[in-house]
Amino acid sequence: MNTQPLTESLYYILLSVKVPNHGYGIMENIKTMTNGRINMGAGTLYGAINILLDKNYIKLYSEEKDSRRKKEYVITELGELILKKEITRLEELIKNGKEQLK
């Protein structure tokens, strides 16, 4: 499987849906993980969620039928595989960068 590297937004969203999570929870999780460096807006988040849904990296987990219709998302098996491949790629980048700076 040949895949493109994940954007930072997609990477953090995938990390945030290892357990079912809704949009606001994803945004808050990303903000916490990055110590406030990334404060993702709703437009960016939902655009990225649609990309991940289209690629089958995440799926709809549940949807509340009240007026807000809060949706929860969770990572798929394919998403887990992509996330693991991305972590391996990032580790290689760090390793090679550190070796070149010696």
**pLDDT per residue as tens digits for the range 2-56:** 678 999 999 999 999 999 999 999 999 999 999 999 999 999 999 999 999 999 9
**Distance from CA of residue 19 to its chain's centroid?**
12
Phi–psi pair at 95, nearest 5 degrees: -60, -50
8-100 placed in CATH 1.10.10.10: yes
- State yes or no: pLDDT of 64 exceeds 60: yes
Burial class (CB in 10 A: 0-12, 13-18, 19+), 67: exposed
By the 10 Å C-beta count (0-12 exposed, 13-18 middle, 19+ buried), 13 is classed as buried
Grade residue 62 by pLDDT with cuts at 50, 70 and 90: confident
Model's pTM, two decimal places? 0.90
Q: Which of 65, 41, 57, 42 is nearest to 6 (CA)?
A: 57
